[in-house]
Amino acid sequence: MEAGKIASFRFESFKIIKSYFEMNDGEVKTFSIGFEPRGILFKSESKFKLELDVLIEEESRNFKAEITAVGIFIFDADTDITLLNKLFYVNAPAILFPYVRAYLSTLTTLSGLKPINLPTLNLSNLGAELQKNTTIN
The whole-number pLDDT of residue 17 equals 98
The whole-number pLDDT of residue 3 equals 64
The architecture in CATH of the region 9-136 reads Roll (3.10)
The whole-number pLDDT of residue 4 equals 65
The whole-number pLDDT of residue 57 equals 94
Block means of pLDDT (10 residues each) for the chain, 137 residues, are 74 97 82 96 96 94 94 94 90 96 95 89 94 95
* The model's pTM: 0.90
DSSP-derived pairing of the beta strands 31-42 and 9-23: unpaired
* Alpha helices (runs of H) in 67-116, residue ranges in sequence order: 81-86, 92-110
Cβ atoms of 35 and 126 within 8 Å: the answer is yes
26: alpha, beta or left? (left if phi > 0; alpha if psi -120 to 50): left
